[in-house]
């Protein structure tokens, strides 16, 4: 018998049941005794200590000296091969965002992940102090406080934001659980998030919609090099139903499992907190993507087990086996920095700030320079999608469509009449 959501103690409990109705609440927790919990994601809370160096200095080459260190108790041998800490060192150069200020199509953006600096300097929601520290009006506390001011007679309850994250069984559902930002703030402050094996993460798609009432239109701006989206012409259609921009708010240990975006580049602007990224090229060995996939044919294997949380991915890849290849780009992202990710790069992201949840904006778009590569591949994989996109593009950016594809599409359209 299913227990009505109202009988669960907290808004987070109710959201968890909305996300994964079949799972018991104790399956979300550390040290769960449930036999259905993925064993690779069950660890003791004492072993979840993640220390982040505060250093964000850059050397003469624009490289960051920041590190993220995972430290565990001596009895955490099963997950880390001993008590030796795991250190992830930033190896990605910083590029002044002003280098691309006249490039409104992003043609000169690098073809490997990079960190762009200075792009948030004119955002009213973000400021850098003379002593080098930063402040933002987008902390989870600040955003939660806005909810109260937006309550009116016509809108008696604050808007709710979508949640992501959780153990592997929870990630089969997209945006099914919702809470207010104040409820998420309490989840972080009360220590409730510390008890979850993989904490929930605000991943809300309404950041650009004024109807939410959270943000004023001038609080942030789209950098010029990301201002032209070649996929914008199909926004809201069956081929791009989800919005391109998302608000991300995440407590320590929450994060995004490894995945890629084959058709779009992405930029992630961090306002509060700290994030650890590992980015892998499109041709990386797939064994790094599906860490728990068995080497032989195991009929009893549950395919959801390989979908590790971000925390577990970093622990398994960076532990005693050290599976992270030399081609990996490691980024320790600090407030004010924008991570740029080219299309097709796999990435896994972990929120690591200990003092407060992270707040960021994540936006995806297609650069016109990538169309000659993307469209032919898409034509092979999903011809209907490719033709729909090309037809929409032809009215706006016909000059960017590969000529052979355009001729093929026009010929096909004529024959169908």
Q: What is the CATH number of the domain that holds 22?
A: 2.60.120.650
Highest mean pLDDT among 8-17, 198-207, 236-245, 260-269: 260-269
Percent of the chain with pLDDT over 90: 47
Domain that holds residue 388: 371-416
What are the structure tokens assigned to 415, written together? 């024959």
Looking at residue 32, what is its pLDDT?
43
pLDDT digits (tens, 9 = 90+) for 353-395: 888 899 999 999 999 999 999 999 999 999 999 999 999 998 7
Domain end position, chosen among 344, 364, 384: 364
Given a cut of 60, whether residue 212 has pLDDT beyond it is no
Given a cut of 50, whether residue 336 has pLDDT beyond it is yes
pLDDT digits (tens, 9 = 90+) for 286-327: 877 866 555 555 555 454 445 788 988 888 888 766 788 999
Q: Please indicate, yes or no, whether residues 165 and 245 belong to a single structural domain of this protein.
A: yes
Q: Please indicate, yes or no, whether residues 382 and 257 belong to a single structural domain of this protein.
A: no
Looking at residue 6, what is its pLDDT?
42
Looking at residue 355, what is its pLDDT?
84
Structure confidence at residue 5 as a pLDDT band (50, 70, 90): very low
Q: Please indicate, yes or no, whether residues 202 and 123 belong to a single structural domain of this protein.
A: yes
Structure confidence at residue 254 as a pLDDT band (50, 70, 90): very high
Q: What is the mean pLDDT of residues 223-235?
A: 95
Q: Please indicate, yes or no, whether residues 273 and 407 belong to a single structural domain of this protein.
A: no
Q: Please indicate, yes or no, whether residues 219 and 255 belong to a single structural domain of this protein.
A: yes
Q: Please indicate, yes or no, whether residues 152 and 41 belong to a single structural domain of this protein.
A: yes
Looking at residue 289, what is its pLDDT?
81
Mean per-residue pLDDT of the chain:
80
Q: What is the mean pLDDT of residues 9-37?
A: 78
pLDDT digits (tens, 9 = 90+) for 121-178: 999 889 888 777 888 889 999 988 887 776 665 566 778 899 988 888 887 665 579 9
Looking at residue 39, what is its pLDDT?
36
Q: Please indicate, yes or no, whether residues 391 and 326 belong to a single structural domain of this protein.
A: no
End-to-end CA distance of the chain: 56
How many domains does the chain contain in total?
Answer: 2
Structure confidence at residue 180 as a pLDDT band (50, 70, 90): very high
Q: Please indicate, yes or no, whether residues 15 and 156 belong to a single structural domain of this protein.
A: yes
Q: Please indicate, yes or no, whether residues 73 and 191 belong to a single structural domain of this protein.
A: yes
Given a cut of 90, whether residue 235 has pLDDT beyond it is yes
Which of 28 and 80 is assigned the larger pLDDT? 28
Highest mean pLDDT among 24-33, 60-69, 174-183: 174-183
Q: Please indicate, yes or no, whether residues 114 and 228 belong to a single structural domain of this protein.
A: yes
Looking at residue 72, what is its pLDDT?
63
Q: What is the mean pLDDT of residues 59-75?
A: 67
Looking at residue 73, what is its pLDDT?
52
Given a cut of 90, whether residue 344 has pLDDT beyond it is yes
Q: What is the mean pLDDT of residues 57-82?
A: 61
Q: Please indicate, yes or no, whether residues 330 and 410 belong to a single structural domain of this protein.
A: no
Q: Please indicate, yes or no, whether residues 176 and 249 belong to a single structural domain of this protein.
A: yes
What angle do helix axes 181-189 and 140-150 make, rounded to 10 degrees?
Answer: 140
pLDDT digits (tens, 9 = 90+) for 399-408: 666 665 665 5
Which of 57 and 197 is assigned the larger pLDDT? 197
């Amino acid at each position: 018998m299913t227990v009505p959501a109202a009988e669960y103690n907290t808004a987070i409990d109710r959201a968890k049941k909305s996300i994964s109705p079949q799972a018991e609440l104790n399956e979300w927790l550390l040290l769960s005794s449930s036999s259905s919990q993925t064993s690779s994601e069950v660890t003791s809370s004492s072993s979840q200590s993640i220390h982040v160096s505060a250093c964000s200095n850059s050397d003469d080459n624009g490289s960051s000296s920041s590190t993220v260190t995972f430290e565990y108790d001596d009895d955490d041998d099963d997950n880390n091969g001993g008590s030796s800490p795991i250190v992830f060192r930033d190896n990605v150069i910083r590029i002044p965002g002003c280098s691309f200020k006249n490039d409104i199509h992003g043609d000169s953006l690098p073809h490997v992940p990079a960190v762009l600096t200075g792009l948030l300097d004119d955002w009213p929601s973000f400021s850098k102090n003379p002593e080098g520290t930063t402040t933002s009006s987008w902390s989870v506390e600040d955003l939660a406080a806005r909810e109260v001011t937006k309550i009116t007679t016509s809108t008696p309850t604050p808007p709710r934001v979508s949640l992501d994250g959780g153990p592997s069984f929870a990630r089969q559902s997209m945006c099914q659980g919702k809470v207010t930002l104040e409820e998420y703030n309490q989840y972080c402050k009360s220590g409730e998030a510390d008890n979850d094996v993989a904490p929930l993460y605000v991943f809300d798609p309404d950041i650009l919609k004024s109807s939410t009432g959270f943000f004023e239109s001038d609080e942030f701006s789209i950098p010029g090099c990301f201002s032209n989206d070649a996929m914008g012409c199909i926004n809201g259609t069956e081929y791009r139903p989800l919005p391109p921009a998302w608000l991300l708010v995440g407590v320590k240990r929450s994060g995004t499992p490894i995945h890629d975006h084959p058709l779009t580049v992405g930029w992630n602007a961090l306002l509060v907190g700290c994030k650890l990224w590992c980015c892998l090229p499109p041709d990386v060995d797939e064994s790094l993507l599906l860490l728990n996939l068995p080497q032989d044919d195991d009929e009893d294997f549950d395919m959801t087990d390989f979908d590790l949380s971000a925390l577990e991915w970093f622990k398994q890849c960076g532990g005693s086996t050290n599976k992270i290849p030399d081609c990996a780009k490691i980024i320790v992202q600090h407030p004010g920095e924008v991570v740029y990710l080219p299309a097709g790069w796999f990435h896994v992201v972990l929120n690591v700030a200990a003092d407060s949840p992270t707040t960021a904006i994540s936006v995806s778009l297609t650069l016109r320079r990538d169309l000659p590569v993307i469209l032919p591949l898409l034509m092979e994989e999903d011809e209907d999608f490719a033709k729909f996109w090309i037809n929409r593009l032809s009215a706006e950016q016909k000059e960017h469509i590969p000529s052979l594809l355009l001729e093929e599409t026009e010929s096909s359209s004529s024959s169908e009449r």
